Structure 1
Amino acid sequence: MALPDPYSPGPFCLPRHLSVARWVCIALMAPVAAAGAAGTLLLWKLAHGPVDVTSVSRLIEPIPVVAGKRPGHPAGRLAWSQLRVQWQPGSGGISAGLMLEARGLTVTRLDGTIAERAGEADVVMALAPLLHGVIAPRRLRLQDVSLVLRRQSNGDIDLDLPAQKHDGRGVPTQMDRLAAIDLRNVSITLLGLPDGQSLLLGPIEAHGQRLKVAATSEDYLWNGWWHSSVRVGSFQTVLSAKGGQTSSRMGQWHLTSTPFHPGGLSVFNKGLANWDLPITVAADMQVVPHRMGELPSSLAIHLMLGDGHIRQDSEGAIDLRGGEAQLNLRMGTPGVQGPAALAVPSLKVTIADVHGALTQVQATAALTVDELKHPHVLDGDATATLDGFDFATLGNVWPAGVIKGGRKWIVANITNGRGHDLEVRTHVHSNDGPKHIRPTSMDGQLLGDDLTVHWLRPVPPATGIDAKLGFDGFDTLVVQFQHGMQATDSGGIEIADGEVRLGNLYEKGPTTGDIRTHLKGSLPAFKDILSHPRLHLLSQHPLPFTDPAGTVDAHARLTLPLTAHVQDKDIHVQAKASFARVHLGNVLMDHAVDDASGTLTATESGLDLTGDGRLTGIPVHVVVNENFRKGAPNRILQDIQAKAFLDPLSAVRAHLVPAGLFTGHATLSAHYIQHASSLADLALSLDMERAGITVPVWTKPVGEAAVATGHIAFRGHDMVALDGLQAHGQTMAIAGRGVTRNGKLNGIVVEGFRLGRTEGSARIMLPDQPSDPVHIALDADPLDLAPLFDPATRKAVHDATETATHEAGSPDASGKNDQGWSIDVHAPHVYFGPKGMVGGVVSHLEIRQSALVSGRFALDAPSRVRAVLADTGQQQPFVLDVDNLGGLLKGLGLYDRIGGGVAHVDGNFLREKAGSSGLGLGLPPFRGHLEIGPFEFLQPPFTLTAVSDLSPLHWTQSHMDRFQVKHVSTKISLEGRKLTLHDGTIGNQALGATVEGPVDLDTSVVSLHGTIVPLFGLNALPGKLPGVGHILAPEKGGGLLAATFDVKGTVGQPQMTVNPLSMLLPGVLRKIME
């Protein structure tokens, strides 16, 4: 059958141009229709099950998923073994989406190695976001997945693809549409952690669904469970979570862990390396639904602590024996933004010290923040309690990071004792975030018993202290203590009370220590403490006193920064003390102070002392200022002002003056200044206005102004000058200076002096050796010795001496002056009375142990007199020659009825004989002989001339106005100021006499008795006959016939009586009748 020609016209043939147009339309519409038919078929297939598109996907496989550093070289490429696609209709308010099912997923690196693997991965992606290039998964299921991630140096976490480009951009992803998740055997490894560590999370098993809280609600909550292990180095635990909706407005999740050791997480925080103990965590979190999301509302965490240790830097580890803690976090509004409150309602731990003793610690806390995610304002309270602990092991109980400044000092310096009943309450606040949170108030207490406290090492510690620890403000720890003892080499010091204040606990800078204490003890013990080199007080400025004794009541304060190395300049010491019954030796010239009392203040800059005591029995008031500061060489280091109040009794007992020297009171003022250049000055002043002075040659009554001054200069311990020696008064003027040699006083030069009528100069030279005598050279013109010869003055001196000696008692033998003296006197004119004067006096005396041992004496007017005293050991020979006895006696005003006469005395002062001669200067009794040459007895008594008339052979030589004496010869003895004549003979050719009897040198009373022998030449012959001479003339130098006589009265006014009748009794009969 033939076919019709399509180009030939038929019954319905169209025009040719229309026919062409028809075929053009058919050609254009056919692909569209075919595509539509194919799309309709694909949609029908997707709606009824997954469609395997593996073959088609090979055209685009592998897909670059991570850009590389070089264009065209991706760092990661995604490939799969199977890929299926399925349409997932919407349900439960969740929009429809496209589900991809992939098997055998891999991500290969640029070098071809596999970086990531996934056995199965199913994901449903929302269609609308996907059309905009955003991945928004609705459902996710992963199985047999191994992901390897790497932490970058900037903290970002990416796939472990070394060649990837880090431009900060990635595939946009939205997870808020995720409604279901199913994870099985998923492992995630995180590389790039510090120290080459890695974190392994998995295998992870999880299932969860986001469900509507109500049919008509637009809010969803997750419901499901999660289980995974976590490994980082030695750290390992298994975390489990389960939760879901609990009400229409609330959901809850419960999280638990298996026990783990946080030390394994030190890769994230180095401090965790110190935690070597197991911890178990259980947490409950409540969430509030918010559309497709959920917001946390509260979190409760319960921690269980096992036995273990918490190591501390440079400190002993804390031995933890279990514990638990509860932490609660409640948001003001659901979510991580807005205010929140954190509470620790309970924290209980048990800590063991190195000896195994257990301490129970409990704490609570509460904290509020204005913004949980980025807090600025924080405010909270905390409390802590301890039941008891041993201070020796406190470092094992007190964490090193808690009140670091206070802990460091207490742990290091309270080394023994028992603490108990600790309770601490604090309030913290910050307006600038957590880093600036600080306590604003703190209180509480801790009781300590029998503590040992090192208040400044290496000073010996205080022991036996009872203490109470508390707070003063938020940054000051206060330790109040009492009942302690400070040990020293000289005994203990009682610590009555005190406190230690540790300040600046939280501010920048070192913690400060302020130690105050009240101390009681002996002066030697305090001297030991103040002399410790660590205090830089008496160790650098020692006191020169010896044998200290007495009691001290002191308040001391020590402030210093509590740093590892405290510099001396940062240590500040303050001490205030009162002392009583104090004894100090070698205070002044080897003399001691006794019964002293006063006050003392001391700092590292100086020392001030005010006190009263007795210096060798003399009341003394002292003010001392010591300067410890450094500075110019001329600065004053020591300033001492002292006043001594002299009274007769104390001065005698101190051996400063002989008994009877003065009455009343005198004040000695001394001002000592020592410079840093080792130079020192001592100014002395003696006020004698209220003193009456009585010496043998001069007196000053009470009330008459008189003052003496002097100045001494020192270089170190050497005396370099003594000058300004002056004394002024109504009858006194003295000016002098000292002579120094080799740092010692060598002598004193009195350039001029006036005492009453005495004027002159003197030189005193001190010996180089203690056994040598002191040399004194006195030049006086005139020299007033009249008081020595005035009985009233002598009696006054004697009475004053006796009274003072009686009141002072017998001084110790050690106080006697055994210094030797060598004295030279030159006095052209010497007063011996109100007007009487002698001239040309020159003497030299040697005195040892207060006794005159030898000497020479010369007098030129009114008569030449020479005397010599020698020393032969047991005896002291003495010789005296007077050229004109009558002239001497008349010139001395003693007796004017003798003319002429040469006198000679020789004898011995007998040391072996007990007693004294009475002449003073320690001279023993004297035995000797007196010879007087021819002299005249002027204006003789009538009885003497009458008796001489009995010698008619010598009438031509007899005169009424004078009686000539040819010679006088007598033995004399001097003992106890009594001169006694023995066997004395007086006479001439016409008349002879015998005489004997005493003369009292104190009262000048004479009591002589003798005989007068007329016709002496003939009458004395019977007494010389052998055998019967003593019977005929019993008196030595007497005669057969003689008249007895007596001389009574005084030396100046003798009264002579003669008994003429005695001549009628010859010889021995006359002696018997006497």
Structure 2
Amino acid sequence: IMPDVTVKDGPPGIVRLNGSTEVTSVLSLLNLPPLSVMDKANLPVAIADATANLTGTLAFPMKKGSDPKLTIFDFSGDIQDVHSDVLVKGRSLRAEKLSVRASNDNITIKGQGTIDGVGFDGSWSQPLGRPGAISTVRADVTLNQNTLDTFKVALPEGTVSGQGQAQFSLDLAKGKAPLFSIKSDLVGVRLSVPQIGWVKPAGTGGKLAASGTLGSVAQVDTLEISGAGLTAKGGVDLAADGSLDKVHFDRLNVKNWMGIAVDLIGKGAGKPVQVVVRNGSIDMRRAQFGKTKPSGIAGPPMLLNLDRLQITDKIALTAMKGSFDLARGLDGRFTAELNEGTAVSGRVVPQNGRSAIQIQSSDAGGMLRSANMVQQVMGGTLSLTLLPVGTGGAFDGRAEMTDVRIKNAPTIAALVNAVSVVGLINELNGDGIYFDAVEADFRMTPNRVTLTQASATGASLGISMDGVFSTDTGRMALQGVISPVYMLNGMASFLTRKGEGLVGFNYAIGGTTQQPSVSVNPLSALAPGFLRDIFRAPPPELPEVEGNTRSTLPPSGAAKQKTVVPRFEGR
């Protein structure tokens, strides 16, 4: 069409097109000079196999040697039965029908289809006339395990299930690896990290943000996940064959009880990953590991390097290092310092969905001082067992010490003075009173220790005790019996409680550890050991923990024949 032949310097020519042909033919036409559409887009004319149905207009000056920039075109339509292995390098794109629009400024294709079987609803756009301009893909994609597998984003088995939607973007620049990003609110997707008992249900929202490069092997430079009280930020490293090398989180926080840096190291297809905790802290008072069923599958040990494991308000294991088996729950040995002080070693074993702890120290006195419990105990060895009660931070415990001395102890001095044992006062102020055995059973909650029974026995003195000690305020309400000359007095101890002789004095201790108040009932010495209970109150009841008011400890006599913490068969 030449609408006006009278125009000087060449009348305009207009070509109106309406037809159906192979898309390669249309693109070849658009790539002829002066348009050169595909050359400008740095793409071949054989970008896809498809049938194009297009209408449009091409306008240009009808003059030889006219400026190509004066050529104007605008086409739109659809392309059907699309198949391309070029548009997204290394990926196969399929679509039944896509819409297309091309002009001097831009070429855009949009609609629904699949990339390597992953569904999308999006668009591809390439600016024209701007050298170096990148083409972009923007799409809503299905988010499930199949999507991750397709793009070789390898996460531990069982981490992702269900299906949701994500917003996917891809920037394609000539000669460079495609840059991708993906974001999602995670609705419909279930996420699980069984090692820490964390699950985000499919019905709740969250956040997923990942970015990196695509190629023969994807590289995930940043990975952010949040939801159900968890926040994590890190990245994913893949091996040359696309398998998982390492998922690394520089910070992983779970509610108010865990803040760690952790790596999940791949060990090959179908094999459990290795968990390596690089640093951080865990608060057992608030820990919610849950009751995720152990896999029972042997795998690499979890390596732990914690700055702090908080057990109670006043007790923490610091500089903790250990190696743990995860096949049947958390099971392994560790070394640590108690409150950044005395060195201890121990073992953790799974029990009732939580972890039981056994701690040993060759310096019982130092351990008690580091725990800010008792300052006057010197030397000795200590074995401490903590059995979990309920799902919170409560434990039933048993402590056993041997070969300890107590010196410069105002509370003990007041007791000894009350029963007028002069020689023991001198001994207490000198090398200390020697006890060859000390035992105690208790329930420990975050701010309270309830002592159900305790005893300390030596040649010169025997003591029994029960009561309550507040770890946050230092206040105490204790009672028991003090028995002088226990080496002789204790010969009839089978008639009494452990630590009590046939002759003993009932006592009570109140106040605080800094200012104790001591009272002794001298008349109690007149009652035989088996009648002594009429002079004292019954032992304290254990505080209720999730309906549990009974101790989980085995009888103390049974502890001599078998370990307090049951051992799994097959280890």
Q: TM-score if structure 2 supplies the norm length?
A: 0.51
**C-alpha distance in structure 2 between counterparts of 1:1073 and 1:644, whole Å:** 69
Kindly indicate whether residue 361 of structure 2 is the aligned counterpart of residue 882 of structure 1. Answer: yes
Q: 1:641 aligns with which of 159, 169, 181?
A: 181
Whether contact under 8 Å (1:863, 1:883) holds in the other structure is no
Aligned pairs for 1:441-460 within 5 A: none
Kindly provide the CA deviation profile for residues 675-704 of structure 1, in whole angstroms up to 9, marking residues without a partner as x.
Answer: 5xx46554427599xx9x999xxxxxxxxx
Kindly indicate whether residue 537 of structure 2 is the aligned counterpart of residue 1057 of structure 1. Answer: no
Q: Which amino acid aligns with 1:822?
A: P
Kindly indicate whether residue 322 of structure 2 is the aligned counterpart of residue 844 of structure 1. Answer: yes
Whether contact under 8 Å (1:854, 1:871) holds in the other structure is no
**C-alpha distance in structure 1 between counterparts of 2:454 and 2:277, whole Å:** 40
Aligned to 1:966: 435
**C-alpha distance in structure 2 between counterparts of 1:619 and 1:959, whole Å:** 71
Whether contact under 8 Å (1:1008, 1:1047) holds in the other structure is yes
Aligned to 1:1043: 505
Kindly provide the CA deviation profile for residues 956-984 of structure 1, in whole angstroms up to 9, marking residues without a partner as x.
Answer: 74446885242333253667778665653
Q: Secondary structure at the match of 2:497?
A: coil
**C-alpha distance in structure 1 between counterparts of 2:525 and 2:361, whole Å:** 39
Whether contact under 8 Å (2:505, 2:522) holds in the other structure is yes
Kindly provide the CA deviation profile for residues 511-569 of structure 1, in whole angstroms up to 9, marking residues without a partner as x.
Answer: xxx9979xxxxxxxxxxxx9x9x432599979999xxxxxxxx996599xxxxxxxxxx
Q: Which amino acid aligns with 1:740?
A: A
Aligned to 1:212: none
Q: Which amino acid aligns with 2:533?
A: K
Q: 1:740 aligns with which of 239, 243, 251?
A: 239
Q: Which amino acid aligns with 2:335?
A: F
Aligned pairs for 1:1013-1052 within 5 A: 1013-1024=483-494, 1030=495, 1034-1047=496-509
Whether contact under 8 Å (2:365, 2:404) holds in the other structure is no
Alpha-carbon shift at residue 933 of structure 1 (Å): 1.5
Closer, same or farther: CA 685–839 of 1 in aligned 2, 3 Å: closer
Q: 1:991 aligns with which of 451, 457, 461?
A: 461
Aligned pairs for 1:253-264 within 5 A: none
Q: Among the aligned pairs, what percent are the same residue?
A: 12
Aligned pairs for 1:2-13 within 5 A: none
Q: Secondary structure at the match of 1:1040?
A: coil
Aligned to 1:670: 210
Whether contact under 8 Å (1:1042, 1:1063) holds in the other structure is yes
**C-alpha distance in structure 1 between counterparts of 2:418 and 2:116, whole Å:** 75
Whether contact under 8 Å (1:1042, 1:1062) holds in the other structure is no
Aligned to 1:335: none
Aligned to 2:403: 933
Whether contact under 8 Å (1:854, 1:870) holds in the other structure is yes
Q: Which runs of 5+ in 1 are unaligned?
A: 1-454, 458-499, 504-513, 518-529, 546-553, 560-571, 588-592, 696-706, 713-721, 723-738, 754-759, 789-793, 1025-1029
Q: Which amino acid aligns with 1:536?
A: H
Whether contact under 8 Å (1:855, 1:869) holds in the other structure is yes
Kindly indicate whether residue 247 of structure 2 is the aligned counterpart of residue 684 of structure 1. Answer: no
Alpha-carbon shift at residue 1071 of structure 1 (Å): 0.8
Alpha-carbon shift at residue 879 of structure 1 (Å): 5.9
Q: Which amino acid aligns with 1:535?
A: V
Aligned to 1:622: 167
Q: 2:333 aligns with which of 833, 842, 855?
A: 855
Q: Which amino acid aligns with 2:362?
A: D
Q: Which amino acid aligns with 1:990?
A: S
Alpha-carbon shift at residue 1009 of structure 1 (Å): 3.2
**C-alpha distance in structure 2 between counterparts of 1:741 and 1:515, whole Å:** 43
Alpha-carbon shift at residue 946 of structure 1 (Å): 1.5
Alpha-carbon shift at residue 881 of structure 1 (Å): 3.3
**C-alpha distance in structure 1 between counterparts of 2:377 and 2:55, whole Å:** 102
Higher RCO (C-alpha 8 Å, min separation 6): 2
Closer, same or farther: CA 959–625 of 1 in aligned 2, 3 Å: closer
Whether contact under 8 Å (2:466, 2:480) holds in the other structure is yes
Kindly indicate whether residue 376 of structure 2 is the aligned counterpart of residue 898 of structure 1. Answer: yes
Whether contact under 8 Å (1:948, 1:958) holds in the other structure is no
Whether contact under 8 Å (1:918, 1:974) holds in the other structure is no
Whether contact under 8 Å (1:575, 1:602) holds in the other structure is yes
**C-alpha distance in structure 2 between counterparts of 1:927 and 1:620, whole Å:** 49
Closer, same or farther: CA 988–842 of 1 in aligned 2, 3 Å: same
**C-alpha distance in structure 1 between counterparts of 2:351 and 2:261, whole Å:** 33
Whether contact under 8 Å (1:766, 1:775) holds in the other structure is no
Q: Which amino acid aligns with 2:410?
A: P
**C-alpha distance in structure 2 between counterparts of 1:895 and 1:975, whole Å:** 13
Aligned pairs for 1:303-322 within 5 A: none
Alpha-carbon shift at residue 774 of structure 1 (Å): 1.2
Kindly indicate whether residue 417 of structure 2 is the aligned counterpart of residue 946 of structure 1. Answer: yes
Aligned pairs for 1:741-890 within 5 A: 742-747=241-246, 765-768=265-268, 770=270, 772=272, 774-776=274-276, 778=278, 798=286, 822-824=301-303, 843-848=321-326, 851-857=329-335, 862-868=341-347, 880-890=359-369
Kindly provide the CA deviation profile for residues 79-129 of structure 1, in whole angstroms up to 9, marking residues without a partner as x.
Answer: xxxxxxxxxxxxxxxxxxxxxxxxxxxxxxxxxxxxxxxxxxxxxxxxxxx
Alpha-carbon shift at residue 501 of structure 1 (Å): 9.3
Q: Which amino acid aligns with 1:745?
A: L
Aligned pairs for 1:901-916 within 5 A: 901-905=379-383, 915=389
Kindly indicate whether residue 34 of structure 2 is the aligned counterpart of residue 535 of structure 1. Answer: no
Whether contact under 8 Å (1:905, 1:931) holds in the other structure is yes
Aligned pairs for 1:410-559 within 5 A: 534-536=81-83
**C-alpha distance in structure 2 between counterparts of 1:667 and 1:610, whole Å:** 18
Kindly provide the CA deviation profile for residues 263-305 of structure 1, in whole angstroms up to 9, marking residues without a partner as x.
Answer: xxxxxxxxxxxxxxxxxxxxxxxxxxxxxxxxxxxxxxxxxxx
Q: Secondary structure at the match of 1:944?
A: helix
Whether contact under 8 Å (1:945, 1:960) holds in the other structure is no
- Bigger share in strand: 1
Whether contact under 8 Å (1:773, 1:819) holds in the other structure is no
Kindly provide the CA deviation profile for residues 635-671 of structure 1, in whole angstroms up to 9, marking residues without a partner as x.
Answer: 76x654334569xxx899744787799xxx9976433
**C-alpha distance in structure 2 between counterparts of 1:884 and 1:844, whole Å:** 20
**C-alpha distance in structure 2 between counterparts of 1:660 and 1:1058, whole Å:** 54
Q: Which amino acid aligns with 1:867?
A: G
Q: Please give the root-mean-square deviation of Cα atoms over the aligned residues, in Å.
A: 6.6
Aligned pairs for 1:302-341 within 5 A: none
Aligned to 1:426: none
Q: Secondary structure at the match of 1:851?
A: coil
Closer, same or farther: CA 897–538 of 1 in aligned 2, 3 Å: same
Whether contact under 8 Å (2:331, 2:347) holds in the other structure is no
Alpha-carbon shift at residue 1012 of structure 1 (Å): 1.1
**C-alpha distance in structure 1 between counterparts of 2:454 and 2:267, whole Å:** 47
Q: Secondary structure at the match of 1:986?
A: strand
Whether contact under 8 Å (2:462, 2:486) holds in the other structure is yes
Closer, same or farther: CA 555–539 of 1 in aligned 2, 3 Å: same
Kindly indicate whether residue 527 of structure 2 is the aligned counterpart of residue 1066 of structure 1. Answer: yes
Q: Which runs of 5+ in 2 are unaligned?
A: 1-19, 23-52, 57-74, 102-106, 128-134, 145-159, 253-259, 537-571
Aligned pairs for 1:198-347 within 5 A: none
Closer, same or farther: CA 824–515 of 1 in aligned 2, 3 Å: closer
Aligned pairs for 1:571-586 within 5 A: 575-576=110-111
Alpha-carbon shift at residue 993 of structure 1 (Å): 0.9
Aligned residue pairs, count: 418
Alpha-carbon shift at residue 905 of structure 1 (Å): 1.8
Considering only CA atoms, is the larger Rg found in Structure 1 or Structure 2? 1
Whether contact under 8 Å (1:576, 1:602) holds in the other structure is no
Q: Which amino acid aligns with 2:404?
A: P
Q: Secondary structure at the match of 2:531?
A: helix
Q: Which amino acid aligns with 1:969?
A: V
